[in-house]
């Protein structure tokens, strides 16, 4: 018998996905230069977390089950046994959605998932059956959704994002071009609030117009709301789902930023009616339970219990529970803008956008922002950032970088941008 | 704008999977007749669980991190932040594998997953790229793996299980037939120890022969060890992976039965070498990290921490930690055999197998064991079981039922079988 060797080429395309390779490269550079300030990492700030909270939230959830009439055996079963595919937090999540987001859906339209990433995989798997079906994405695009699409073999077509966020007219244009090519644009994915990576945010008019266009082009809309709580001001920004009168929007919810990532609990809302050949009518979320069961049976009820306890403690308002975090991220976004102004504003050709919230800004720099420059930036200047090219399906973003301000202190942000400015100054000089 | 309605036919085949429909039917019947004794439910017995254990295990894991030199901030990060795609329990799991299973693999050959179900999905996704690739399964087959295959679009071909478990000669025969049809048998899935649903168990000779055949036919072997601890006696039954000298076996590990299902933590071992076009060599588990990241980023570190604490407390021997459970399931399997003998042995044409361990037995009954009979069994006789036809790709198992003895007391098992015997008696009479 001979030892097995597999050719990497014989593995599925998702294994060798270029975006995954790029992200691996980024992580690998970060590991090699641990002292570099990371304006690349989009993870939330850990200063708000306390390990003791985990068991406290679990205790609150356990008491909640008891108060709801669960005996000891039922509590044990809820937390430690196999559970329903779509989870057990629906009543708390639907209260949260009514309180914070003005979204009113029945419990059975909600499925609790192993993080928002799994919600994406479930929705794409369930909805994409015909090889002609195409996923439209606002581009530049979050790599999680293009990754899930790659995994499932869903073709992706980008709709270029305008400076003020996705232009509904562009959606119409791309949807029609896709259709003219014999394919079927089925779903449009976007992050309407402070997108990752661009920071773009749609105004109310754009949101309504987008829904109108989606109806006109018969698109389902996949709304990813990972950052919605973290606006730079208190201006109300209605979710697409709250404006969705004809069940056209599937909503992806995350607790990673509003609670913490380690629970790996997210959810989806899919209140679309699915009609069977026999006339039976069920909600899409109920149909997708089968997909969930084939992926991971059900989301860990322990992890659900931790998030459940947090929701109960906050009286199902994460907006209220996140007051300090909202203030922190606002301050950091201001710090990032100020630092760019201070260190790059007066002399350089660099330009940046002005997101109305979220974790990210995009800076255009007068040089190629590739992996080679990133390596130099990490090793010689001690600062990390993300090439925007990682977020494009084609070859966009070559002269742009994404800066994240979520995981750092204001002082670190300033120092990181100072180092970035040195990089830009030196390499700009070398271009002249 | 008109309200969205989706045709069920427009959704992916996995949503409308007939096996999922069958399982839904089973659950639905169980819900309608809550007082029926369930010889259908294969879930573990809950009497061993205590809700308070969850936080105790978490505390043990937290202290373990501290003792390993983690400061407060690092502990917080390990449990509450995003983490590595393949998880953090590898050192504990590799100790467990050496202690309990005589399996010695490097940590980087192990990936921690959101239960064993996700491990199946990850492995199948990563390995199946060519449309000609086929998954062979020992048939009757656990529905989790055929479900994952359906989800990913992997074609499945059954290898009929013989009375004494899978016959390696049948693997050769089916692999060659598949190849002769122009397709490529890439992976063989089986549960060598007390299979779900058949209870079959391979002897050591069969195991070695199976590995020889796998090498000869160039198959990877996917070994699912969900029930291995629960032999009816202490006879050693080496895992295929422990006999695997040429890295042909990918091993799926579950904590659902040996710990509890609610953690939703499982793992895979994939120590196969993957060679890149540039000559780089990595282990398959490392390559599959990309797939994991696209499915759910990483397994909840809180859930990992709970299982980690349990592993630490048991000094990484679940065999030792499960002494009471092993005795309980042995007693229940004896109780099931005794009850069948007592209530069906003397007069009926029913025949059953004699599994050497595990949760399941198969009974052949002299009538069609379909959903209609199940409905009658639940409503009129107060007993539930699983039609074996659910576990066949084609139309096998029409006169057989699976009985599970894992979730009941010995008294309930006896009463359940007594009711089953009444059903058989009445409906056998009606056939005459």
Digit-coded pLDDT (tens) for A409-420: 999 999 999 999
Q: Do residues A366 and A316 share a domain? A: no
Per the structure, how many domains does chain A have?
2
Run of H or E including B351: strand B351-352
Residue ending a domain, choose from A269, A291, A320: A320
Of the residues A71, A264, A268, A299, the best mutation for testing chain B's interface (the one with the most B CB atoms within 10 Å of its CB) is A264
Answer whether A264 sits within 8 Å of B299, measured CB to CB. Answer: yes
Tokens 């309930």 locate to: B412
Residue ending a domain, choose from B320, B342, B365: B320
Q: Do residues B275 and B409 share a domain? A: no
Question: In B, residues 328-387, which contact A (CB 8 Å cutoff)?
Answer: none
Q: Do residues B376 and B252 share a domain? A: no
B397 to chain A, minimum CA–CA distance in Å?
23
Which residue in chain A is spatially nearest to B208 when comparing CA positions? A1
Residue B287, pLDDT score: 96
Of A263, A275, A294, the CB nearest to B14: A294
Which residues of chain A are within 8 Å of residue B6 when distances are taken between CB atoms?
272-275, 284
Q: Do residues B305 and B385 share a domain? A: no
Residue B21, pLDDT score: 81
By the CB < 8 Å criterion, does B308 face chain A? no
Please give the residue that has the higher pLDDT: either B420 or A431: B420
Of B8, B24, B293, the CB nearest to A276: B8
> Per the structure block, which two tokens stand in for B78?
């390990």
Which residues of chain A are within 8 Å of residue B260 when distances are taken between CB atoms?
80-81
Does a structural domain hold residue B110? yes
Domain CATH number, residue A181: 3.40.640.10
Domain extent for B381: 8-46+322-431
Which residue in chain A is spatially nearest to B115 when comparing CA positions? A296
Which residue in chain A is spatially nearest to B125 when comparing CA positions? A12
Answer whether A1 sits within 8 Å of B147, measured CB to CB. Answer: no
By the CB < 8 Å criterion, does A12 face chain B? yes
Percent of chain B with pLDDT over 70: 99
Query: Rounded to an integer, what distance in angstroms lies between the CA atom of residue A83 and that of residue B233?
Result: 31
Q: Which residue(s) pair with B384 in the sheet?
A: B38
Query: Rounded to an integer, what distance in angstroms lies between the CA atom of residue B285 and that of residue B273?
Result: 9
Which residues of chain B are within 8 Å of residue A256 when distances are taken between CB atoms?
82
Which residues of chain A are within 8 Å of residue B88 when distances are taken between CB atoms?
none
Which residues of chain B are within 8 Å of residue A73 when distances are taken between CB atoms?
46
Q: Which runs of consecutive H residues, i.e. helices, occur in B250-388?
A: 284-296, 301-313, 318-321, 323-344, 371-376
Residue B346, pLDDT score: 85
Query: Rounded to an integer, what distance in angstroms lies between the CA atom of residue A144 and that of residue A151?
Result: 10
Which residues of chain B are within 8 Å of residue A5 when distances are taken between CB atoms?
272-275
Residue B174, pLDDT score: 98
A398 to chain B, minimum CA–CA distance in Å?
24
Residue B1, pLDDT score: 60
Percent of chain B with pLDDT over 90: 93
By the CB < 8 Å criterion, does A265 face chain B? yes
Q: Do residues B308 and B353 share a domain? A: no
Residue B428, pLDDT score: 80
Of the residues A2, A15, A301, the best mutation for testing chain B's interface (the one with the most B CB atoms within 10 Å of its CB) is A15
Residue ending a domain, choose from A287, A320, A353: A320
Does a structural domain hold residue A3? no
Q: Do residues B94 and B166 share a domain? A: yes
Q: Do residues B181 and B313 share a domain? A: yes
Does a structural domain hold residue B1? no
**Mean pLDDT value across residues B142-147:** 96
Of A79, A274, A284, the CB nearest to B262: A79
Is the pLDDT at B429 greater than 80? The verdict is no
Query: Rounded to an integer, what distance in angstroms lies between the CA atom of residue B199 and that of residue B357?
Result: 7
* Residue-averaged pLDDT of chain B: 96
Residue A19, pLDDT score: 82
Does a structural domain hold residue B3? no
By the CB < 8 Å criterion, does B256 face chain A? yes
Q: Do residues A112 and A207 share a domain? A: yes
By the CB < 8 Å criterion, does A395 face chain B? no
Residue B431, pLDDT score: 60
By the CB < 8 Å criterion, does A431 face chain B? no
Question: In A, residues 31-60, which contact B (CB 8 Å cutoff)?
Answer: 43-44, 46, 49-51, 54-55, 58-59
Is the pLDDT at B232 greater than 90? The verdict is yes
Residue A96, pLDDT score: 98
- Write phi, then psi, for A298 (nearest 5 degrees): -155, 160
Q: Do residues B314 and B326 share a domain? A: no
Question: In A, residues 64-83, which contact B (CB 8 Å cutoff)?
Answer: 72-73, 75-77, 79-83
**Mean pLDDT value across residues B17-26:** 84
Answer whether A51 sits within 8 Å of B75, measured CB to CB. Answer: yes
C-alpha dist (Å) from residue B295 to A112, A221, B255, B291, B400? 14, 21, 20, 6, 36
Answer whether B275 sits within 8 Å of A8, measured CB to CB. Answer: yes
Residue A386, pLDDT score: 96
Q: Do residues B106 and B238 share a domain? A: yes
Does a structural domain hold residue B2? no
Which residue in chain B is spatially nearest to A115 when comparing CA positions? B296
Q: Do residues B36 and B112 share a domain? A: no
By the CB < 8 Å criterion, does A273 face chain B? yes
Answer whether A300 sits within 8 Å of B256, measured CB to CB. Answer: no
Query: Rounded to an integer, what distance in angstroms lies between the CA atom of residue A136 and that of residue A156?
Result: 6
Q: Do B147 and B14 touch, CB atoms closer than 8 A?
A: yes
pLDDT in tens, B160-175: 999 889 999 999 999 9
Interface confidence: ipTM more than 0.90: yes
By the CB < 8 Å criterion, does B214 face chain A? no
Of A2, A130, A295, the CB nearest to B118: A295
Beta strands in B76-132 (DSSP E): 110-113
Q: Do A115 and B297 touch, CB atoms closer than 8 A?
A: yes
Which residue in chain B is spatially nearest to A78 when comparing CA positions? B262
pLDDT in tens, B72-130: 999 999 999 999 999 999 999 999 999 999 999 999 999 999 999 999 999 999 999 99
Answer whether A11 sits within 8 Å of B75, measured CB to CB. Answer: no
> Per the structure block, which two tokens stand in for B344?
């069906």
What are the residues whose beta carbons fall under 8 Å from the beta carbon of B214, sequence distance 6 or more? B171, B188, B220, B221, B248
What are the residues whose beta carbons fall under 8 Å from the beta carbon of A78, sequence distance 6 or more? A65, A70, A88, A301, A305
Does a structural domain hold residue A359? yes
Burial class (CB in 10 A: 0-12, 13-18, 19+), B327: exposed
Residue A163, pLDDT score: 86
All residue ranges of chain A with pLDDT < 70 are 1, 429-432
By the CB < 8 Å criterion, does A88 face chain B? no
How many beta-carbon pairs below 8 A join chains A and B?
303
Query: Rounded to an integer, what distance in angstroms lies between the CA atom of residue A364 and that of residue A163?
Result: 13
Does a structural domain hold residue B420? yes
Is the pLDDT at B432 greater than 60? The verdict is no
The DSSP symbol for B44 reads P
Of B2, B126, B300, the CB nearest to A263: B300
Tokens 């754009």 locate to: A206
Residue B2, pLDDT score: 79
Q: Do residues B273 and B142 share a domain? A: yes
CB atoms within 10 A of CB B155: 14
Answer whether A73 sits within 8 Å of B117, measured CB to CB. Answer: no
A283 to chain B, minimum CA–CA distance in Å?
9
By the CB < 8 Å criterion, does B119 face chain A? no
* Residue-averaged pLDDT of chain A: 96
Domain CATH number, residue A407: 3.90.1150.10
């Amino acid at each position: 018998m001979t030892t097995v060797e597999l050719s990497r080429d014989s593995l599925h395309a998702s294994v060798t996905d270029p975006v995954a390779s790029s992200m691996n490269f980024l992580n690998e550079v970060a590991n090699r230069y641990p002292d570099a300030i990371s304006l690349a990492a989009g993870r939330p700030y850990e200063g708000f977390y306390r390990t003791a909270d985990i068991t406290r939230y679990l205790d609150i959830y356990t008491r909640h089950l008891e108060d709801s009439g669960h005996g000891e055996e039922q509590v044990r079963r809820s937390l430690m046994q196999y559970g329903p595919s779509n989870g057990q937090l629906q009543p708390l999540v639907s209260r949260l959605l009514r309180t914070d987001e003005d979204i009113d859906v029945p419990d059975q339209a909600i499925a609790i998932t192993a993080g928002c990433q799994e919600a994406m995989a479930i929705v794409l798997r369930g909805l994409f059956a015909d090889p002609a079906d195409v996923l439209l994405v606002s581009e530049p695009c979050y790599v999680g959704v293009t990754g899930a699409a790659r995994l499932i073999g869903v073709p992706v077509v980008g709709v270029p994002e305008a400076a003020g966020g996705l232009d509904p007219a562009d959606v119409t244009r791309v949807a029609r071009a896709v259709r003219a090519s014999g394919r079927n644009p089925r779903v449009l994915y976007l992050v309407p609030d402070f997108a990752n990576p661009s920071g773009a945010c749609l105004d109310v008019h754009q949101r309504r117009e987008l829904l109108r266009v989606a109806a006109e082009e018969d698109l389902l809309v996949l709304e990813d709301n990972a950052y919605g709580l973290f606006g730079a001001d208190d201006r109300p920004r209605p979710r697409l789902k709250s404006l969705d009168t004809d069940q056209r929007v599937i909503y992806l919810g995350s607790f990673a930023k509003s609670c913490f990532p380690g629970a790996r609990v997210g959810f989806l809302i899919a209140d679309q009616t699915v009609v069977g050949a026999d006339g039976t009518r069920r909600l899409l979320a109920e149909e997708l339970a089968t997909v969930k069961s084939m992926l991971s049976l059900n989301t860990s009820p322990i992890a659900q219990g931790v998030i459940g306890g947090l929701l109960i403690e906050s009286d199902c308002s994460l907006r209220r529970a996140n007051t300090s975090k909202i203030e922190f991220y606002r301050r950091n976004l201001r710090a990032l803008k100020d630092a760019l102004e201070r260190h790059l504003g007066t002399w350089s050709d660099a330009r940046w956008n002005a997101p109305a919230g979220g974790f990210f800004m995009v800076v255009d720099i007068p040089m190629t922002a590739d992996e080679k420059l990133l390596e130099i930036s990490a090793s010689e200047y001690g600062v990390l950032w993300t090439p925007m090219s990682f977020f494009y399906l084609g070859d966009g973003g070559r002269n742009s970088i994404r800066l994240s301000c979520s995981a750092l202190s204001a002082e670190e942000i300033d120092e990181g941008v100072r180092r970035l400015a040195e990089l830009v100054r030196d390499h700009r000089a070398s271009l002249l």
